[in-house]
């Protein structure tokens, strides 16, 4: 793929950042805001259905989820989940602590708080809410943030209930845990003014920083996530929901812009071929007899289940279905997403990729002849029940018709490589309606003034303190005030100011290097990172062991720094033992010392550090090694 000129293609991007607030209780009840890892104590089952709005409309996203026919099983705990989460009791009053936290963040972003907070219901029936809706409130409008000299307008700041946690899926059954349901989430939505992946990443980092400096948001993986809205000239507004890793944001944006541009090219080529929407028929042909002796494992499995093979002709689509729209994903992948979600099939075959997967060229020729398909036509094949196959192929036909017109409006979910897949239709205006069970909350000037008096410093206001009090270089201080881990840095150096430079280097330089190497440092609990520097300050290991410890903790997120020190054998070595090791290595390399003199210290340093493996301070090793080399030179 060629390099994208984001200005030329008219890319416009907005972002919504959601962060769990660190409140004592949930948003509409007094249950604690803690995540449980032990086994649940009881479960119950629900099936959710869409309802009409006050105008008699049904939200398309809600209808879509209902048509999937899923059963939801909810896992509970007696001491941390109550009747509110189970939708057996009306919600309590809106949590005042969450409101104060949100107002504080609003003031830091120069946003205008509302006079009265109204509670709304947002229709959600994917099972993540037992009620079939999510309660949310708008706290403030407008405002802006500065992102590296670029002003990003804020549209709204609100608070909403976090959803239940999806634990697993088993066929048509989805298991959810209700411990997360109702934890307050702050949501900051920007205007769609960003034009490049880097601007979006920088904006997400800046918003995250402002969240963190308040000290009133939860930390750790899963506590923050981003929804990204992306469009290009001639394309559509695509919402990509639930990007949890910040380092994935830029890739997600780049691949979505690329996807829309490729879909527009496919549209134009189909039009040049003269393909018309009316030519695409939602007709599923039973072609089971052509594949009774097929070597395809997928087809044979379906036939053993007494299912069939069904096909759909897409006139003029030959070569288009196999066209790549994102790395590793093609138009055929988009069609397959629709087939899976609307028909419940496992996947599909198409003639742009055949013969393959056990389907022979003889079978393909027979299929084309049976369906009277031309060389310019593509054929889609699914192997499932008749009902599932017909629904799947109908969805494929609908999506193919859309390919002739535009990039379809839809909500997509991120994959681990930054590509995305279809999740559901975009919600409509019928999704929101007032909550009648909770009274509104007034926002008084007295309340705002109280919060304004306690506002924390913004990161850029900390620059001088980092230089003067903690002796960071200008470069390192600048890096730290732009860091998303600025609050963790300050938390640690409040206890150990003498380690400020070491902590800053570890949380930024070492952290980024490990991320580039594929180490999941984001998954390390922050209390273990703080404990790591507690142990370093107590001389339980040398600072050279920090990188090795971070790698170990990333690989064992359920264990502790103390476990790591024992497992890696990183206990600090005694002065006498270290001197003995150095003397032994110098004597073993006496010929090198005789040849190079003091220049032998460099290569010998590597040998010693490899032997002591983070159990000794590098400066001490270097001093003792120089003494040992000088002694050897005299002998």
Domain boundaries, the chain: 12-237+430-434, 271-408, 459-568, 575-634
pLDDT band of residue 589 (cuts 50, 70, 90) is confident
State percent of the chain over pLDDT 70: 94
Cβ 318 vs Cβ 275: under 8 Å = no
Is beta strand 71-76 parallel, antiparallel or unpaired with respect to 173-177?
parallel
What number is the average pLDDT over the span 421-431? 76
The predicted pLDDT at position 53 comes to 64
Highest mean pLDDT: which range of 521-535, 566-580, 597-611: 521-535
Quote the pTM value. Answer: 0.82
Q: Is the pLDDT of residue 631 over 90?
A: no
The predicted pLDDT at position 599 comes to 82
- The sign of the torsion formed by the CA atoms of 63, 66, 68, 72 equals positive
Phi-psi region of 56 (alpha: psi -120 to 50; beta: other; left: phi over 0): left
Report residue 336: phi and psi, to 5°. Answer: -65, -35
Q: Is the pLDDT of residue 1 over 60?
A: no
Superfamily of domain 271-408: GAD-like domain (3.30.1360.30)
State percent of the chain over pLDDT 90: 67
Cβ within 8 Å of residue 545, ≥6 positions away = 568, 570, 613, 614, 615
Q: For residues 65 and 44, what is the distance between their CA atoms, to the nearest angstrom?
A: 20
Helix (H, G, I), strand (E, B) or coil at 217: strand
The predicted pLDDT at position 424 comes to 83
pLDDT band of residue 247 (cuts 50, 70, 90) is confident
The predicted pLDDT at position 144 comes to 97
pLDDT band of residue 192 (cuts 50, 70, 90) is very high
The predicted pLDDT at position 62 comes to 62
What number is the average pLDDT over the span 279-301? 95
Side-chain-side CA neighbours of 390 within 13 Å: the count stands at 6
Averaged pLDDT of the chain: 90
Listed residue (155, 285, 236, 286) closest to 422, CA to CA:
236
Cross-strand pairs, 138? 158
Question: Tokens standing for 19?
Answer: 């962060």
What number is the average pLDDT over the span 232-242? 95
3-state secondary structure 13-80: EEEEEEEEECCCECCCCCCECCCCCCCCCEEEEECCCCCCCCCCCCCHHHHHHHHCCCEEEEEECCCC
The predicted pLDDT at position 615 comes to 65
The predicted pLDDT at position 198 comes to 95
pLDDT band of residue 114 (cuts 50, 70, 90) is very high
Q: What is the DSSP letter of 9?
A: T
- The sign of the torsion formed by the CA atoms of 94, 186, 229, 176 equals negative
Q: For residues 579 and 574, what is the distance between their CA atoms, to the nearest angstrom?
A: 9
The predicted pLDDT at position 79 comes to 87
What number is the average pLDDT over the span 594-622? 73
Is beta strand 184-190 parallel, antiparallel or unpaired with respect to 173-177?
unpaired
Strand residues in 282-374 grouped as ranges (E) = 285-286, 308-314, 324-326, 329-330, 349-350
Q: For residues 428 and 59, what is the distance between their CA atoms, to the nearest angstrom?
A: 6
Helix (H, G, I), strand (E, B) or coil at 154: strand
- The sign of the torsion formed by the CA atoms of 347, 353, 354, 356 equals negative
The predicted pLDDT at position 65 comes to 64
- 79-93, 363-377, 468-482, 497-511: the lowest-pLDDT one: 468-482
Question: Tokens standing for 162?
Answer: 């976090």
Q: Is the pLDDT of residue 618 over 80?
A: no
At 44-70, the pLDDT tens digits run: 998 877 766 666 676 665 666 676 677
Rg (CA), the chain: 30
The predicted pLDDT at position 540 comes to 80
The predicted pLDDT at position 543 comes to 85
At 270-282, the pLDDT tens digits run: 999 999 999 999 9
Of residues 68 and 397, the one with the higher pLDDT is 397
Cβ 504 vs Cβ 536: under 8 Å = no
Q: Is the pLDDT of residue 10 over 90?
A: yes
The predicted pLDDT at position 33 comes to 94
Cα angle 276-281-286, degrees, rounded to a multiple of 5: 145
Of residues 249 and 433, the one with the higher pLDDT is 249
The predicted pLDDT at position 37 comes to 85
- The sign of the torsion formed by the CA atoms of 367, 371, 374, 378 equals negative
At 459-503, the pLDDT tens digits run: 888 888 899 889 999 999 989 988 888 889 999 999 999 999 999
């Amino acid at each position: 793929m060629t390099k994208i000129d984001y200005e030329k293609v008219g890319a416009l991007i907005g972002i919504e950042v959601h962060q769990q607030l660190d409140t004592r209780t949930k948003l509409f009840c007094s249950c604690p805001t803690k995540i449980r890892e032990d086994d649940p104590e009881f479960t119950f089952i629900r099936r959710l259905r869409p309802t009409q709005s006050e105008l008699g409309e049904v939200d398309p996203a809600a209808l879509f989820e209902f048509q999937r026919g899923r059963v939801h099983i909810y896992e509970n705990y007696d001491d941390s989940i109550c009747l509110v989460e189970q939708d057996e009791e009306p919600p309590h009053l809106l949590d005042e602590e969450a409101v104060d936290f949100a107002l504080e963040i609003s003031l830091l972003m120069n946003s205008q708080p509302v006079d009265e907070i109204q509670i709304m219901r947002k229709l959600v029936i994917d099972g993540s809410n037992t009620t079939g809706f999510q309660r949310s409130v708008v706290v403030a409008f407008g405002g802006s943030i500065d992102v590296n000299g670029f002003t990003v307008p804020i549209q709204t700041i609100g608070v909403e209930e976090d959803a239940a946690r999806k634990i697993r899926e088993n066929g048509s059954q989805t298991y959810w845990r209700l411990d997360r349901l109702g934890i307050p989430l702050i949501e900051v939505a920007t205007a769609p003014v960003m034009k490049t992946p880097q601007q979006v990443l920088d904006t997400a980092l800046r918003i995250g920083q402002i969240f963190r400096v308040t000290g009133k948001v939860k930390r750790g993986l899963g506590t923050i996530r981003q929804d990204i809205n992306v469009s290009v000239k001639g394309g559509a507004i695509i919402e990509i929901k639930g990007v949890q890793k910040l380092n994935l944001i830029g890739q997600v944006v780049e691949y979505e812009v690329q996807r829309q541009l490729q879909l527009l090219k496919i549209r134009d080529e189909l039009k040049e071929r003269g393909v018309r929407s009316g030519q695409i028929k939602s007709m599923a042909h039973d072609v089971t007899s052509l594949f009774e002796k097929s070597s395809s494992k997928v087809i044979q499995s379906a036939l053993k289940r007494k299912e069939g093979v069904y096909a759909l002709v897409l006139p003029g689509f030959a070569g288009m279905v196999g066209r790549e729209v994102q790395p590793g994903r093609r138009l055929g992948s988009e069609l397959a997403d629709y087939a899976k979600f609307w028909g419940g099939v496992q996947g599909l075959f198409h003639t742009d990729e055949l013969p393959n997967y056990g389907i022979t060229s003889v079978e393909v020729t027979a299929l084309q002849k049976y369906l009277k398909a031309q060389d310019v036509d593509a054929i889609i094949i699914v192997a499932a029940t008749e009902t599932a196959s017909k629904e799947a192929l109908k969805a494929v036909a609908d999506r193919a018709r859309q390919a002739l017109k535009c990039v379809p409006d839809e909500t997509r979910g991120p994959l681990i490589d930054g590509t995305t897949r279809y999740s559901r239709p975009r919600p409509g205006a019928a999704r929101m309606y007032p909550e009648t069970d909770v009274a509104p909350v007034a926002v008084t000037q007295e309340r705002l003034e109280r919060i304004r008096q306690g506002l924390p410093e913004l990161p850029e206001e900390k620059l001088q303190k980092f230089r003067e009090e903690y002796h960071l270089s200008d470069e390192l201080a600048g890096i730290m005030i732009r860091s998303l881990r600025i609050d963790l840095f300050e938390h640690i150096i409040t206890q150990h100011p003498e380690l400020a430079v070491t902590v800053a280097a570890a949380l930024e330089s070492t952290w980024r290097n490990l991320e580039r190497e594929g180490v999941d440092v984001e998954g390390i609990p922050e209390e273990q990172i703080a404990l790591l520097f507690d142990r370093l300050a107590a001389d339980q290991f040398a600072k050279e062991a920090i990188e090795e410890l971070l790698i170990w903790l990333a690989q064992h997120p359920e264990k502790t720094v103390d476990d790591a020190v024992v497992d890696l054998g990183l206990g600090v070595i005694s002065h006498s033992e270290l001197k003995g090791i150095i003397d032994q290595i110098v004597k073993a390399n006496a010929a090198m010392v005789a040849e190079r003199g003091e220049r032998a210290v460099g290569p010998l340093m590597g040998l010693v550090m490899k032997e002591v493996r983070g159990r000794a301070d590098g400066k001490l090793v270097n001093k003792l090694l120089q003494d040992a080399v000088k002694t050897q030179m005299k002998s």
